Copies of this chain bind each other. A is one copy, B any other.
């Protein structure tokens, strides 16, 4: 057993949907969250830039004595998770893309899978590569949806115009006879109800955070480092701590009392 915290990071506030799943499934664990709100979004940045940013953040989390890390940011997952595991070989690094792929492969019946995410996640083709690695006959249909993040952050998840934006983005995917749709961006679970309304009951929505939390729990047990009780959670950002507090209400369903701002470029 090991009561040190689990680190979770994202380019911004979206990773709070992963925090929520970890809190639910692994409620003895303490969490240290970092959101890179000074440099968000990563989705439009290059691989080199994203890798440099992720290395700085992992250094920061290791200084906070985390025992394991979940990379909630799909853009980091898609661009450089293998490289990060090579740079930090002694740290358990769990992603969200691999768990999302695992869930989708066990969910699909017809082998036709959709993926939605930021521009960089889609452009990286990482989901497609992993989904078809052992299933050459599977078909993967990708669509970048850059308006979804600002829609969520504006709190528009229940507005009619959000349904129209979703319909616009998904109209081609809906013609592809997919039975499974991966929400390849941490913000998208907030749009679950609206997405479900557009895609209907015949398409399963996959939130990779479910499996990421489950998989982290298994790895902590395997290594005998699961916690016996939570010592509480800490939240850090590189900018705008007040905004993180506001967003936490929507993402976690409760209020965070303290968010600490740090200068991540120093790490």
Contacts and interface: CB of A to CB of B under 8 A. Distances in A.
Nearest to A39: B39
Nearest to A44: B240
A151 interface: yes
Interface residues of A, number: 26
B44 A243 contact: yes
Interface in A159-179: 159-161, 164-165, 168
Interface in A131-154: 146-147, 149-151, 153-154
Contacts of A160: 164
A240 B45 contact: yes
A40 B39 CA distance: 8
Given A45-B239, A45-B240, A151 B161 contact: no
Contact of A164 (B147, B151, B154, B164): B164
A165 to B, nearest CB: 6
A168 B159 contact: yes
A37 interface: yes
A161 B164 contact: yes
Contacts of A165: 161, 165
Contacts of A159: 168
A150 B161 contact: no
A154 B146 contact: yes
A27 interface: no
Interface string A175-211: 0000000000000000000000000000000000000
14 contacts: A37-B44, A39-B39, A44-B239, A44-B240, A46-B239, A46-B240, A49-B239, A146-B153, A159-B168, A160-B164, A161-B164, A161-B168, A164-B164, A165-B165
Given A45-B240, A146-B150, 12 more contacts: A37-B44, A45-B239, A46-B239, A46-B240, A49-B239, A146-B153, A147-B147, A147-B151, A150-B150, A160-B164, A161-B161, A165-B165
